[in-house]
Chains A and B, each alone.
Chain A
Amino acid sequence: MISIETHNLTVSYNRRPVLWNIDFELPTGKIIGIIGPNGSGKTTLLKAIMGLVPTSSGYVKIFDQDLNDVRSRVSYVPQRESVDWDFPASVMDIVLMGRYKKNNLFKRISKADRDIAAEALEKVNMLEFSKRQISQLSGGQQQRVFIARSLAQGADLYIMDEPFIGVDAATEEAILKLLSDMKKDGKTVVVVHHDLQTAKDFFDWIVLLNTRMVAAGPIEEIFNETLLQEAYGGKLNVLSQVGDLMKEKAFDVRES
């Protein structure tokens, strides 16, 4: 079974491609890391998969279908810094957002929703904080709240953007434990990660990225000196020059 397939996916900002022809098929039931240096387009790739940024070419299939048809089976954990934690809301309020669905726009939150949210909080060891104001949380706790929100969605595929960045040891441990539990339940987890040191222990499968895909496959096949060197050894010179040129001349990546 394939969880995510990207086919020749190119994404540009101001016409300059930040991801070139990304083409891979990810398996299900694995913990998959997307790894690359800063500015290699990891977050952009996730956003393109989730339909948050327009693509210049190519397509994405999730469970062999369009994202729109499988939204309820996919859950997204954005970067912690992407929101303002001063927002007037409690931990429970945020986790309950995972229970919002497109089909029940006017429906109120039910008791069952609350139970599911509480269960999700328990899984990340945050149940005792459910009434806490979100601005009073530490970075690691904020991250766990975001993960709980996505768990409350009850999806099959989880996509997380840098969940390990700037978190304390307790949170890291809690997240790792959770990931392995999720794997046991047959869930697929895709995690953007920047730290090479830990990548080897965290993931079964990796995608090496640096504006283009360097390699994708089981960790034991991919995690070697040559490929890592290729991914972390800087951008391809000609490729970035062509990108710059496209921006300068307002050229599209496809002839139209």
Chain B
Amino acid sequence: MILGASAAIVGCFSFLRKRALVGDAIAHSILPGVCLAFMVSGSKNPLYLIIGAFITGWLSLLLIDAITRTTKLKSDTAIGIILSVFFGVGILLLTSIQHSGNASQAGLDKFLFGKAASLTKDDVYIFGTIALILIAVVILFYKEFKLISFNPDYAKVIGLPVQFLEFMLATITVLAVAVGIQAVGVVLMAALLITPASGARFWTDKLSVMILIATAFGAISGFLGSYISYIAPSMPTGPWIVMCLSMLTIGSIWFAPRTGMLAKFRVQKENQRKILIENVLKLFYHLGEKDGTFKKQRSTSVLLASRDLRIKELNRGLHLLKKEHWLRKKGDNWLITQSGLNEAKRIIKLHRLWEMYLNQRLKLEPDHVHNDAEAIEHIITPELEKQLEKELNYPTKDPHESVIPYAE
């Protein structure tokens, strides 16, 4: 749990600095470090392994940086090179260790896919301490990390020790990866780092809240993953942690308020509804304008004949309007109410004002303005309406010589 949480916190900054793939490179580069540490020390003491992991993890960062700085290669290429070279060396070392006949090597290959369920008590203490240190560093340097993620040049100019801060941030990233790898392994580590942050981004526009949500995602997934492999021992922990994380993130993409897919879908639906009822209302106005009276009852067939609408849509619109008390039903016929008429006038007015605006300001011919106004009439706010009226100096007629109805 705590592993998931600490990786998530650090991952937020990688995400915001658009360094998502760097975590992956570090994770892969850690493997040779772990193997070398084992070969040198001859034990699986987690402290040695982490030191080894730390060294090669950092080395990979420095190399990526050096490649992008001194050659023409871009950072994605550099990351790709470093990732595969280090991982290749790691696998090479791992294979040679496995064939060396050293009895204590068993389990080293767990680094590939993680071994969260089989952590020893010592492991837990060491990783727990490191995770707490990471969290403490982030809290301590929170506002500085925020600034160097947003605008590093400015941080440099006001004299912040940007190099030192970037060093700290890189160090805690390497540490978080080195620790997280124990749980989910090299291959899935990038998910632990970046997925919580990307999911959390959907829920909030505040960095502090985003970090908290990402942390919660990391912790919950860590807990669920371990729990699943605890009740069903044949289930691997690491992949389940990542599965849970992915679920949370996919869920965020769908259900987050405002930014989620569902919310966007709802807005679309609401727009369609608004457009439909406003169009039907306009229909009553146009008919009334033609006949010189708005008090006449209209049958469905008359309404259908005067505008290109499907009968199902028309009926839906009529009933929605009835609910708003903008229409009244008399037998099989429909009658517009006073409040309905006011609303219809407002929409017609917006339509004709917009036509005027296009005609005058965008120099469009009168026969080119109608279709545009059909769409724009539905979204003009009262504030914009006032601005339009004022700018056009309260015109009485639109470019087609139709009267612009103002509210009495």
Chain A residues near B (Cβ < 8 Å): 47, 50-52, 68, 71-72, 74, 76, 78, 82-84, 87-90, 93-94, 97-98, 100-102, 105-106, 109, 133, 135, 149, 153
**Could you tell me if A52 and B157 are in contact, using CB atoms closer than 8 angstroms?**
yes
Measured between C-beta atoms, what is the minimum distance from B202 to chain A in Å? 11
**Could you tell me if B144 and A88 are in contact, using CB atoms closer than 8 angstroms?**
no
Known pairs A52-B153, A97-B143, A105-B161 / 15 extra A-B pairs, C-beta < 8 Å: A68-B159, A71-B159, A76-B153, A76-B154, A83-B151, A84-B18, A87-B150, A88-B206, A89-B206, A97-B154, A98-B158, A101-B159, A109-B143, A133-B205, A153-B158
A84 to B18, CA, bound (A): 10
* B246 touches A (CB below 8 Å): no
Interface pairs A-B: 3 shortest CB-CB: A102-B159, A133-B205, A71-B159
Near A by CB (< 8 A), chain B positions 144-199 give: 144, 146-147, 149-151, 153-161
**Could you tell me if B204 and A78 are in contact, using CB atoms closer than 8 angstroms?**
no
* B28 touches A (CB below 8 Å): no
**Could you tell me if B151 and A97 are in contact, using CB atoms closer than 8 angstroms?**
yes
**Could you tell me if B156 and A51 are in contact, using CB atoms closer than 8 angstroms?**
yes
Measured between C-beta atoms, what is the minimum distance from A25 to chain B in Å? 22
Measured between C-beta atoms, what is the minimum distance from A92 to chain B in Å? 11
* B140 touches A (CB below 8 Å): yes
Chain B residues near A (Cβ < 8 Å): 16, 18, 140-141, 143-144, 146-147, 149-151, 153-161, 201, 204-207, 210
Chain A residues with CB under 8 A of B143: 97, 100, 109
With A89-B150, A100-B144: A135-B205 Cβ-Cβ less than 8 Å: yes
**Could you tell me if B153 and A87 are in contact, using CB atoms closer than 8 angstroms?**
no
Chain A residues with CB under 8 A of B160: 100, 102, 105
Chain A residues with CB under 8 A of B140: 106
A101 to B154, CA, bound (A): 11
Most B Cβ at <10 Å: residue of A47, A74, A88, A135: A88
Sample (20) of A-B pairs whose CB atoms are under 8 Å apart: A47-B153, A51-B157, A71-B157, A71-B158, A72-B159, A78-B153, A82-B151, A84-B18, A87-B149, A87-B207, A88-B16, A88-B204, A88-B205, A89-B150, A90-B206, A100-B144, A101-B158, A101-B159, A102-B160, A106-B140
Measured between C-beta atoms, what is the minimum distance from B264 to chain A in Å? 16
Output the nearest chain B residue to A109 by Cβ-Cβ distance: B143
Chain A residues with CB under 8 A of B207: 87-89, 93
Measured between C-beta atoms, what is the minimum distance from B182 to chain A in Å? 30
